[in-house]
Amino acid sequence: MSDANNGEAKPQLLYTPEEAAVALRISRTHLYQLKSAKQISYIKIGKNLRFRRKDLDDYIAKCAKKAATEIKRSRVDTTI
């Protein structure tokens, strides 16, 4: 049974830079900076730059872990 028949939408596999920036709620320029700094993974298909949903989710998770680590450090610093 196809997704068109049961009304379910297929998840988007690849995002353009514009779509990825919107999904992350950042500017396209900032997304390109993250790419250049190798902080977010990407795919090149010919000349086209694309981002997988997994890459966006991994970047978000990496940022969340970093923030949690910084909070723990600040708590340790204030108790000393």
Residue 39 belongs to domain with CATH number: 1.10.1660
Structural domain span for residue 46: 13-79
Q: Which amino acid makes up residue 69?
A: T
Domain assignment present for residue 32? The answer is yes
Count of domains in the chain?
1
Domain assignment present for residue 33? The answer is yes
Domain assignment present for residue 4? The answer is no
Q: Which pLDDT does position 1 carry in this prediction?
A: 46
Between 29 and 77, the more confident residue is 29
pLDDT (tens digit per residue) in 14-68 = 999 999 999 999 999 999 999 999 999 999 999 999 999 999 999 999 998 766 6
Q: Which pLDDT does position 80 carry in this prediction?
A: 57
Q: Token pair 């949690």 is at which residue?
A: 68
Domain assignment present for residue 37? The answer is yes
Domain assignment present for residue 5? The answer is no
